[in-house]
Amino acid sequence: MLIGVPLETHAGETRVAVTPETAKKLIAQGHTVQVQAGAGVAASATDEAYRAVGAQVVDRTAALGADLVLKVRSPGDEECTLMKRGSALVGMLNPFDAAGLQRLADAGLTSFALEAAPRTTRAQSMDVLSSQANIAGYKAVMMAANRYQRLFPMLMTAAGTIKAARVVVLGVGVAGLQAIATAKRLGAVIEASDVRPSVKEQVESLGAKFIDVPYETAEEKEAAEGVGGYARPMPASWLDRQKVEVAKRVAQADVVISTALIPGRAAPVLITDTMVQAMKPGSVIVDMAAGKGPSGTDGNCPLTQAGQTVQVHGVTIIGETNIPALVAADSSSLYARNVLDFLKLVITKEGGLQVPMDDDIVAACLMTQDGQVRRKA
């Protein structure tokens, strides 16, 4: 099969969908891999590195005109016009972007969105959300440490003792757990909060303290269990009690890492204006939900500005919207392996495309086919 890897054109996107490592494996399987010139440069993968493993370095038209196009982000209008009707597309296509999916359907593409893969053991090796969130959790702490004008670890010096930084992590999914682990390695004292009681043991195993908010009704407990590995919206009664507990910890915190997202919905507000006002001057918030909040520019904090770092009430709020792209080489390496594993499900031994709808992963990831949007609402 002719596989194309175009340069990502989305603002700030530095990742690439195929690395020299995975290109070599695809070529060994008998495929022809065409990589657009410069596609991997921002991810530390040179054109020479692709040529060395047998890939062809081509122009944009050739890369997008392949039978199978591998991307990181969904193609725009101009990119869709360069893609062949009937060709296939694999990438992070945003399953909740109805207009974007319709654009892919109108272009006649058979498209697969990897974010839609079920959270099952079998799908773990192709779970792009987890692989990218892992890196984002690490980088969020490093960004906070860079902005925070004190040290993370406790230091005992001849000039006196420096206290360890207090870090609060809100939302303990993959990103949150990695943020806890990274902050711990840097010597911080950490507390973490999540609506799901099942993560308490994970938090404590990493050396952090879990901010416990008891459940008072069956409705609260049922919602807390989540669905498909994700949190569900919690009842207002529990959220009110959680806000009180979290507000106490945030007021004492030096750094807050906020990671709470609910797929297909606006990110919940966890850090209010009042809470930011109560924080110590010089504190840092990294809002990993930036750009996905109720207003479309905020995140878990209404003061967040997507794509910007701002100072409000003496607190630095980092609103980076694509943190994995700041660690492009490793993010691309993990993403490319996710893609490679997914391709095993949709490429036959003879090198043709197949769409086995009896496979739960393929069925979940299929977005468009035969000019129609196939995603189930």
| pLDDT tens column, 54-112 | 999 999 999 999 999 999 999 999 999 999 999 999 999 999 999 999 999 999 999 99
pLDDT at 252: 97
- For the chain, what's the residue count? 377
Q: Identify the active-site residue in 34, 36, 111, 130.
A: 130
pTM over 0.85: yes
Quick one: 110 and 141 in the same domain?
Answer: no
pLDDT at 217: 85
Q: In this structure, is residue 146 part of a structural domain?
A: yes
Q: Identify the active-site residue in 102, 119, 354, 372.
A: 119
Q: In this structure, is residue 334 part of a structural domain?
A: no
pLDDT at 228: 63
Quick one: 165 and 258 in the same domain?
Answer: yes
pLDDT at 316: 98
Q: In this structure, is residue 144 part of a structural domain?
A: yes
Quick one: 75 and 168 in the same domain?
Answer: no
Q: Identify the active-site residue in 15, 74, 87, 127.
A: 127
pLDDT at 219: 83
pLDDT at 55: 98
pLDDT at 6: 98
Quick one: 192 and 315 in the same domain?
Answer: yes
**How many domains does the chain divide into?**
2
29 in active site: no
pLDDT at 235: 83
Q: In this structure, is residue 238 part of a structural domain?
A: yes
Q: In this structure, is residue 330 part of a structural domain?
A: no
Quick one: 274 and 357 in the same domain?
Answer: no
Q: Identify the active-site residue in 29, 102, 124, 295.
A: 124
pLDDT at 231: 60
pLDDT at 230: 62
Q: In this structure, is residue 351 part of a structural domain?
A: yes
Q: In this structure, is residue 220 part of a structural domain?
A: yes
pLDDT at 343: 98
The pairing of beta strand 189-193 with beta strand 166-170: parallel
Quick one: 103 and 138 in the same domain?
Answer: no
Q: Which domain holds residue 176?
A: 133-325
119 in active site: yes
pLDDT at 224: 75
CA angle, 147 then 152 then 155, to 5°: 135
Q: Identify the active-site residue in 97, 230, 330, 341.
A: 230
pLDDT at 242: 82
124 in active site: yes
230 in active site: yes
Quick one: 143 and 262 in the same domain?
Answer: yes
Q: In this structure, is residue 49 part of a structural domain?
A: yes
Quick one: 139 and 268 in the same domain?
Answer: yes
Quick one: 164 and 215 in the same domain?
Answer: yes
Quick one: 155 and 265 in the same domain?
Answer: yes
Domain containing residue 68: CATH number: 3.40.50.720
pLDDT at 91: 98
Quick one: 101 and 138 in the same domain?
Answer: no
Query: Which of the residues in the chain have pLDDT under 50?
Result: none
147 in active site: no
Quick one: 364 and 238 in the same domain?
Answer: no
